[in-house]
């Protein structure tokens, strides 16, 4: 099995409008090894979140291709890409994206139940305890603080033991102290489960904790930032 879990070749993303043609990403090539921790950094509008979406198969490039877990995303249809993500990928977003009608426990159980895991409740309980929320399992997202919601989101992302975790500004909506705790948690779980961590961040301290960084400037990949 290849050590490269993500390979991008000559990725470009161009958006057309009635007024102009906007190049968001321009000929980006990269590879990420299994178990690595990588930060994607750059100014606002540099193409960071677009690159993350392309690497995860949430969007398709105008040119180029991504191989994710050994499969060419360009060769798959939408349903096949979704199935590949369900098998290999977890996500943590700045906006948490929890389901408001489900409790913390039910939010974490959901991806496990979709996979048919009989131990979904036990696994969800274990992870919520791991992130310090064993006393909040029956609470709904609206009853949790921002930091608690992000911890639920992290527990959900790691529940199915993904090969790759994509995180888009995971501490962006949190105060400094809470963000530091969330960062510790992400790297602890990354190390314990051997998960490849790919993170978009504008926080230099967070980027410096990653083993390497990819810097974008106006859609072009620059020299390693860390």
In a domain, 51, yes or no: yes
Domain count, the chain: 1
Determine the structural domain holding residue 151 and report its residue range: 35-57+82-221
For residue 39, the model assigns a pLDDT of 95
In a domain, 11, yes or no: no
CATH of the domain at 89: 3.40.50.300
Residue 75 three-state SS: helix
Report yes or no: 37 and 164 within 8 Å, Cβ to Cβ. Answer: no
In a domain, 180, yes or no: yes
Counting Cβ atoms within 10 Å, is residue 117 exposed (0-12), middle (13-18) or buried (19+)?
A: middle
Going from the first residue of the chain to its last (226 residues), give the mean pLDDT of each consecutive group of 10, the final group possibly shorter.
Answer: 86 88 94 94 91 94 96 95 92 90 96 90 93 95 94 90 91 83 85 91 87 93 63
- Is the pTM higher than 0.85? The answer reads yes
For residue 226, the model assigns a pLDDT of 42
In a domain, 163, yes or no: yes
């Amino acid at each position: 099995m290849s050590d490269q879990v993500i390979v991008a070749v000559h990725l470009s993303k161009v958006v057309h409008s009635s007024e102009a043609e906007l190049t968001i990403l321009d000929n980006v090539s990269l590879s990420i090894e299994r178990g690595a921790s990588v930060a994607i950094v750059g100014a606002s509008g540099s193409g960071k979140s677009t690159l993350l979406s392309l690497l995860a198969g949430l969007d398709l490039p105008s040119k180029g291709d991504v191989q994710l877990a050994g499969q060419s995303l360009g060769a798959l249809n939408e349903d096949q890409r979704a199935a590949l993500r369900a098998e290999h990928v977890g996500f943590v977003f700045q906006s948490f994206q929890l389901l408001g009608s489900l409790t913390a426990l039910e939010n974490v159980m959901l991806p496990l139940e979709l996979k048919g895991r009989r131990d979904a409740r036990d696994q969800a309980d274990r992870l919520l305890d791991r992130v310090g929320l064993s006393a909040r399992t029956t609470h709904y997202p609206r009853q949790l603080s921002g930091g608690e919601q992000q911890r639920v989101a992290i527990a959900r992302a790691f529940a199915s033991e993904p090969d790759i975790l994509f995180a888009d500004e995971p501490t962006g909506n949190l105060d400094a102290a809470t963000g530091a705790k969330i960062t510790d948690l992400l790297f602890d779980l990354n190390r314990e489960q051997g998960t490849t961590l790919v993170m978009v961040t504008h926080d230099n301290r967070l980027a410096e904790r990653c083993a390497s960084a990819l810097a974008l400037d106006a859609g072009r990949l620059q020299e390693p930032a860390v």
